[in-house]
Amino acid sequence: MPIFSSEEKENVINEVRTKYNTTSDVQFKMYVEIIAGLRIINKVLGRDWYQKAESQIKSSDLESVEEHPINHYLRLDKPEKMVQLMHFASCLRDLYDVTNLAQKVNEFTKKRKKAPITIEDFDKFHTEIKVASVFVRKGLSVTFVKEVKNKKTPDLKVSGKDGEASIECKRKTVDDKFSVDSLRTSFTTANKQLESSKLPGISYIDIPLKSNIKIESKFRELSFNEIFPEILATHFIVIAGEWQEVIPGRARTTTYMFSYENKMSELKLPPSVRDMVCDIHPPPIKSSLLDD
């Protein structure tokens, strides 16, 4: 089932036409995307969660780490932040009604019963949603693994025509002083969580970037051959670097992805999943949040 009915699409378009004084076709489309994205987030994460943001939108301390994530990213003065919010909405749309997204959302929204979800919480959740979206758009079945108290579990299970695999997602912080040691820690921690699944594993490391830099340069000091004997539950490592940029007429999220095979791993990915990971470059997203 599409996330928007025909009537809901028309409501979004009419709302922009009647409430916002857009001066160009580009601006009109931008507002349609923003309203559609917020409607998606509202529908999937729930009105109660979203209302926490509405009460804070006029906050004077927009950079506070304690603010609600929607307040942090819904910034007309910083469109690169809004790009990330719209990308999140696009991923929710991709997963809607084809995965157990509702279970994952329920876990996410209940983590902080009284205080709002923090930006750090939201960013980690966004990474898991994004990774699930990539595999769904590649044609695989994706299931969010239920969290178990006091037990390390992977984040996702993906299924192809010839078998299954587990995925553990790790998100690094935006940091100019990118640490190779920190990356190694992410690999080993992810491997421990993959061990519990008894399935071949994929570690996905998400690295938000501040500017358009060459990701390859970050890994010159890293010898994967030294790491692989330590992470036998991990058959493939995927490293993704991402940044948001605003160019004349539009804004976009750019993602570069690199996969590395651990031939020493104890379990191997089924061929259908392995082929996808070897060709990990994400498929293009739909051009509009109203597209189905």
Specify whether the CB–CB gap between 83 and 244 falls below 8 A: yes
Q: What is the pLDDT of residue 264?
A: 94
- Mean pLDDT, contiguous 10-residue spans, the chain (292 residues): 91 93 87 92 86 62 62 79 88 95 92 76 93 93 91 94 96 67 87 94 86 54 80 93 65 78 95 90 76 76
Q: What is the pLDDT of residue 58?
A: 56
Domain limits of the chain?
Answer: 6-278
Specify whether the CB–CB gap between 246 and 136 falls below 8 A: no
Q: What is the pLDDT of residue 65?
A: 47
Q: Both tokens of residue 132?
A: 């699930």
Q: What is the pLDDT of residue 74?
A: 81
Q: What is the pLDDT of residue 61?
A: 53
Q: What is the pLDDT of residue 110?
A: 84
Going by the DSSP 8-state scheme, the letter that residue 229 receives in this structure is G
- CA 85/CA 140 separation, integer angstroms: 25
- CA 220/CA 212 separation, integer angstroms: 18
E-assigned strands of 58-217?
A: 141-144, 156-160, 163-171, 201-208
Q: What is the pLDDT of residue 63?
A: 52
Q: Both tokens of residue 189?
A: 């921690």
Helix orientation angle between 25-45 and 79-95, rounded to the nearest 10 degrees: 50
Specify whether the CB–CB gap between 197 and 165 falls below 8 A: no
Residue carrying structure tokens 């009604």: 97
- CA 246/CA 88 separation, integer angstroms: 17
Q: What is the pLDDT of residue 286?
A: 75
How many whole angstroms from its chain centre is CA 91? Answer: 7
Listed in sequence order, the residues at least 6 apart from 9 whose beta carbon sits closer than 8 Å to its beta carbon are: 290
pLDDT in tens, 222-233: 678 888 999 999
Q: What is the pLDDT of residue 66?
A: 54
Q: What's the predicted TM-score (pTM) here?
A: 0.89
